[in-house]
């Protein structure tokens, strides 16, 4: 964020760092009483939903050791457990997507990283190119009014360019940060899915076990795994949705 002074009083989006002397306010804040805006309330709900989805995934991953132990003791019960965990993961993915989450691809991440870097470099260059801010002259030969107005106009024009580029950079960085959060969630889901597949392979390899699952058991478990993979495959990709809770960004 650039360190400049401005007379602008427009409220800033939550992802902007306010300029010195400029208060940060939500764009549609509720008047009076310190009540949150409807937008803030919606964002808080989305952030909470994402947080709960992430906790579901973590809870599944924390049961890996118990699952692997069950594979050795009772393969049939272990297969049912993989199905239950697959349902939990599917529920978490659906909740995260409903809250605006995106299954960001590596290519999209690279593009957003580059956009944020380029935008910040452009903002920094505009900041360095600013002329000195005109001050009321106190010297023996004060600047004439016309010269002062020209200097103020030149500074205002340059400041507007720098501020606009800084806003673009702030937003690009917020988008990239939200994308990292979303990608991290889906990476955890995919790791949990991999652990379930590992357990299933171990169960298949132990066909001689008297407690080995039968065909119907596999059919039911396969259905739950397929639904989880479908939820992942159909999760929307692209730029994440910006919410003031900090979990995501919408361009």
Burial classification of residue 120, based on how many CB atoms lie within 10 Å of its CB (0-12 exposed, 13-18 middle, 19 or more buried): middle
Find out whether 78 and 181 touch, Cβ atoms under 8 Å. no
pLDDT band at 14; cut points 50, 70, 90: low
pLDDT in tens, 105-132: 999 999 999 999 999 999 889 888 888 8
Degrees, nearest 5: CA angle 176-191-201:
160
> What whole-number distance in Å separates Cα of residue 7 and Cα of residue 110?
37
Distance, CA of 167 to CA of 17 (rounded, Å): 9
More confident residue, 230 or 159: 230
Q: Give the mean pLDDT of 31-57.
A: 83
Residues written for the chain: 251
Beta bridge partners of 242: 249
Alpha-carbon distance of 200 to 196, in angstroms, equals 6
What is residue 181's predicted lDDT score, i.e. its pLDDT?
Answer: 94
What's the pLDDT score for residue 128? 87
Distance between alpha carbon 184 and the CA centroid of its chain, in Å? 9
Q: Given pLDDT bands bounded at 50, 70 and 90, which one contains residue 3?
A: very low
* Helix H or strand E encompassing 201: helix 145-205
**What is the pLDDT at residue 152?**
84
**pLDDT of 22 strictly over 90:** no
């Amino acid at each position: 964020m650039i360190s400049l002074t401005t007379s602008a009083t427009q409220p800033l989006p939550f992802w902007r760092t306010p300029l010195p002397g400029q208060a940060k306010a939500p764009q549609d804040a509720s008047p009076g009483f310190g009540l949150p805006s409807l937008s803030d309330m919606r964002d808080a709900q989305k952030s909470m939903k994402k947080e709960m989805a992430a906790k579901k995934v973590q809870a599944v991953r924390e049961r890996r050791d118990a699952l692997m132990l069950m594979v050795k003791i009772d393969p049939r019960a272990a297969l049912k457990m993989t199905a239950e965990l697959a349902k939990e993961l599917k529920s978490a993915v659906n909740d995260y997507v409903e809250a605006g989450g995106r299954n960001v691809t590596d290519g999209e991440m690279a593009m957003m990283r580059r956009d944020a870097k380029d935008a910040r470099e452009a903002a920094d260059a505009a900041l360095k190119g600013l002329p000195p801010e005109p001050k009321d002259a106190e010297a023996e030969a004060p600047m004439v009014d016309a010269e002062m107005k020209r200097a103020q106009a030149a500074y205002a024009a340059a400041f507007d360019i720098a501020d606009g580029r800084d806003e673009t950079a702030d937003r690009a960085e917020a988008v990239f940060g939200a994308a990292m959060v979303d990608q991290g969630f889906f990476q955890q889901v995919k790791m949990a899915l991999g652990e379930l597949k590992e357990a299933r392979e171990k169960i298949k390899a132990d066909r001689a076990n008297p407690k080995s699952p039968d065909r119907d058991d596999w059919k039911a478990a396969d259905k739950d795994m397929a639904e989880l993979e479908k939820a992942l495959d159909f999760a929307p990709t692209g730029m994440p949705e910006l919410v003031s809770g900090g979990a995501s960004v919408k361009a």
